[in-house]
Amino acid sequence: MQPRATACRVLPAIVLGAAVALLAPASAQAADPAPAVAIDLGGVQLDLVLVKAGRFRQGSPPAEAGRGDDEAVRDVTLGRDFYLGKFPVTVGQFARFAAETGYRTEAEVGASGGFGFDGKGLSQRKEFTWRTPGFPQTDVHPVTLVTFKDAGEFTRWLTQKTGRAFDLPTEAQWEYADRAGTRTRFYAGDADSAAAGIGWFKGNAGSGTRPVGQKQPNAFGLHDMSGNVYEWCRDWYGPYAPGPAVDPEQTAPPAGDKPRRVLRGGSWLKDAKHLRAAARYRNDPGSRNADNGFRVVAALSASAPAAAPAPTPPPAATAQAPRSSSWSTAAMVGFVGGGVVLASAVIGLIGLLVHRAVGRRPLRGAPPGVTFRPQGDGFWLHAPPHLHGSMLHYRCLVKGAIRRASVPIEPGPRGQFVYTGGVPSAVEVEQIGAAAWAAPRAAGWAAPRAAGWAAAPSAAPRAAGGGYRSRDRISSAPDVATAAPFRGYPSAY
């Protein structure tokens, strides 16, 4: 009789535990993000490393050797986990993008080419492009001679291809990931000699870039954060805002200053001091140099992940239930828990149907047929066929801040995901490329209005009049539109 009595005591405990698990919040049951993700780009792999949210001290102390006067110290909090490329984007990965999309970089399209290595330094020639930078390279070398726009087009392709939001990292994300919990000049120490073990620079690289992954990674498992190639960041270059900051990003160039984007990490052409974690660089967004590259940042999950299969309920017990009071309590809790889960599922289904019914709505001031659906860190854009290939210039309200951007309208089978860095509470079209402008306007399209954006009158939409003009236009290189030589090199040097 003793085994039966023991079973009568254990079985109610098991059932009670299962009921509690059913009632536990979904977030508590969700698995942590994978520490690393490998994405197949079609014969070429892109490796991502998880970087957990946290706090760090950005900038450098006044006494740090090699310090620049733009490295003011501030405490920064990054509130969300993110994935970062384990390596800079490689020639092979960029070649896959170019082959699949037919994309040509600004150096390839422009009349003057890019700035490649001529044996002594960087000089501009028509033949210098990412394919021919002036030194030998393989598919595992970091891609160079790419502009800020070229890097952005690559991230947009990744987003459309994978359903996961990709972008360039912010400057704060980049430095946080580079430091990996350290506060020294380099993530391997303070002495210049420490740089030799973690990166390629003027003292050890020779006459060009080196294959990625050959040097010591940091504590997060990231390679080539120091040296080899400078890496584009999302921010405009400007002084750090004073005081502590949460998820900072410089979304507009400072008034009166030449608009330049941030680059980080140092390169094979520069001295070791430029590989310091706090060292900052900047250049015209259209610069295309043989020591400029980039790496990507990615959201934790795809924007439209497949629904997880419903859990299979355990088989019903066939044995006669014990008649103890503890069994009755456990059974009641189990039935109540199951009812709550079922009710939650029904409510969730209704909510999903309602969201799909109202979530896709016209953009303010947009031509007929242009709709969007907020999701994750951006929105899905849908546009009629006659607008495909046009340039969409829009602004959105994310976390109380207005953000402007431009993207080519290139929807895939599910539409086009546009990354905004957060769920936009408002989106408004400022202009759509002139090639598709007239037809929708004649069909009753109304020009954008500034209503609802009173808090930022300077950000009111610009009227269409012969083309869009903005400091954050999609093409930053003057020789894309004309045959005039590009003269942006090298404002950062």
pLDDT tens column, 229-266: 999 999 999 999 999 999 999 999 998 889 999 999 99
pLDDT of residue 345: 56
The answer to whether 232 and 261 are in contact (CB under 8 A) is yes
pLDDT value for 492: 39
**pLDDT score for 235:** 97
- The bridge status of strand 297-302 relative to strand 164-167 is antiparallel
Contacts of 139 (CB under 8 A, 6+ apart): 44, 90, 91, 92, 95
Length of the chain as a residue count: 493
Six-digit token string for 376: 């994750």
Q: Which residues contact 32 (CB under 8 A, 6 or more apart)?
A: none
| Residue 480 phi, psi dihedral angles, 5° rounding | -70, -40
With a CB cutoff of 8 Å and minimum separation 6, the contacts of 61 are 67, 73
- What pLDDT was estimated at residue 357? 43
For residue 335, the tally of other CB atoms under 10 A from its CB is: 11
What is the structure's pLDDT at 400? 76
Distances 45 to 130, 137, 444 between C-alpha atoms, Å: 19, 18, 47
Specify whether the CB–CB gap between 460 and 431 falls below 8 A: no
pLDDT of amino acid 430 = 79
Contact 418/378 with Cβ under 8 angstroms?
yes
Report the run of H or E that residue 152 belongs to, with start and end: helix 148-162
DSSP SS3 for 149: helix
Q: List the beta bridge partners of residue 189.
A: 186
Per-position b or e across 6-20, b if 16+ CB within 10 A of its CB: eeeeebbeebbebbe
Helix axes 91-101, 148-162, angle to 10 degrees: 70
Segments of 326-411 assigned E as strands: 361-362, 371-375, 378-382, 391-398, 401-408
Percent of the chain exceeding pLDDT 90 equals 53
In the predicted model, residues of the chain with pLDDT beneath 50 are 1-29, 305-336, 341, 352-364, 434-493
Q: Checking DSSP bridges between strand 292-293 and strand 297-302, what pairing results, if any?
A: unpaired
- ω into residue 411 within 30 of 0, thus cis? no
| 285 CB neighbour count, 10 Å cutoff | 26
